[in-house]
Structures are given as structure tokens and as C-alpha cells.
């Protein structure tokens, strides 16, 4: 995950950070891949948002640089297949960062169905998820992603995917167009 350093709002960030530190402490050469947020993660929220016309979030104006699993996999495969023995940490991201409102606008453009973004507090979003049947611990994990976006921790854009794989990342709009049927749920 990007930016797992201490202070990250993401509930499981300390696990990622501590794992990286343990790897580095071995003294052997390492390659760490910090995968950004997957485009595919949007399929957990967008079908319901399209059905209801509303997308509840607490991300505010925080942006996320979504990328495809295929792009990240190609970058990781190329990185691991390289002849380099230098230690390196790569943050893999999509080609652009988007706020929830910008994602909603792209989805509306692709599907012709409007989505209104509803900004809530972290507490209200957690309660809404719980009332929809999510266990509280999982709701808190999901809300921590919005808090990280709001804090600016998920909006970083790098060229690591292209640098490693030799191919450009798939733009979010293209991904949405390709997967339009999946948006319907």
C-alpha cells in the first residue's frame, strides 16, 4: 500500500510498515512493491451507487490514484525478472488521481446514470455501513481508506508501472468503459 508510514489512517498500515522494516533489517537486497488502490476496488461501491444514485464517502476532496491489477502485475513481474540486485521500493499507481466526485463524473459519463456524492463524517459512514450489515471492524477498515484519501495519502502518482513494465497504465475512464457491464452489478 502507498504511504504505510506511522500516522497513516489506514487500519492495517502498521502491518505493511512493520513488514517493510523487517525486510530491510535483514540486510539482504530487497524489492518492495507498494501497490496503490486497484480500479477493481470500485466494484464494491459503484454498482450500489449506480442503483441508488448516491455514493456515500468521507473522503472529502481527497484523491486516489487507482490502477489496474493487470498493470501492477506486469510491473511486479518485470521488476522481479530484472537483473538488478539493488534494493528498491516502488510505489505502483495509476496514471492520475481522482476524487470521489471525479470518479462519479466519469461513471456518469460512461453509464449515462448520474451519481450524487454524499460526504459524511467518518463516524456517520461507519454507522451507515454497520446498518447495511457490515461488521464494525470491516466498516472501520473501509472508512480508514476514505480518511487516508482525505489526508492525501492515496493521491500520489508515480511512473513506476511504466518504468518497470514498459507500458502505460490504463486510464480509469478506459477501465470503466471496458468494464461497463460489471458496474451494473
What is the domain count for the chain?
1
Q: Is residue 7 a part of any domain in this protein?
A: no
In a domain, residue 128? The reply is no
Cell numbers placing 112: 449515462
Establish if 107 belongs to a structural domain: yes
**Cα gap 107→113, rounded to integer Å:** 8
In-domain check, residue 148: no
pTM for this predicted structure: 0.93
Closest residue by Cα to residue 163 from 78, 94, 81, 97: 78
- In angstroms, the CA 42 to CA 47 distance is 9
> Each residue's pLDDT tens digit in the chain (185 positions)?
999 999 999 999 999 999 999 999 999 999 999 999 999 999 989 999 999 999 999 999 999 999 999 999 999 999 999 988 899 999 999 999 999 999 999 999 999 999 999 999 999 999 999 999 999 999 999 999 999 999 999 999 999 999 999 999 999 999 999 999 998 86
| Structural domain span for residue 168 | 13-54+63-117+157-173
Amino acid at each position: 500500500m502507498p504511504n504505510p508510514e506511522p500516522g497513516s489512517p489506514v487500519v492495517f498500515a502498521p502491518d505493511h510498515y512493520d513488514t517493510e522494516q523487517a525486510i530491510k533489517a535483514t540486510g539482504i537486497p530487497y524489492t518492495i512493491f507498494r501497490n496503490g488502490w486497484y480500479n477493481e476496488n470500485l466494484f464494491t461501491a459503484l454498482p450500489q451507487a449506480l442503483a441508488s444514485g448516491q455514493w456515500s464517502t468521507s473522503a472529502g476532496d481527497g484523491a486516489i490514484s487507482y490502477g489496474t491489477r493487470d498493470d501492477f502485475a506486469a510491473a511486479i513481474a518485470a521488476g522481479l525478472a530484472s537483473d538488478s540486485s539493488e534494493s528498491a521500493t516502488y510505489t505502483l499507481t495509476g496514471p492520475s488521481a481522482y476524487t470521489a466526485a471525479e470518479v462519479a463524473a466519469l461513471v456518469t459519463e460512461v453509464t449515462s446514470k448520474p451519481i450524487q456524492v454524499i460526504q459524511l463524517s467518518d463516524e456517520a459512514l461507519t454507522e451507515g455501513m454497520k446498518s447495511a450489515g457490515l461488521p464494525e471492524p470491516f466498516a472501520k477498515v473501509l472508512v480508514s481508506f476514505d480518511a487516508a484519501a482525505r489526508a492525501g495519502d492515496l493521491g500520489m502518482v508515480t511512473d513506476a508501472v511504466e518504468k518497470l513494465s514498459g507500458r502505460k497504465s490504463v486510464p480509469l475512464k478506459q477501465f470503466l468503459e471496458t468494464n461497463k457491464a460489471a458496474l451494473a452489478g
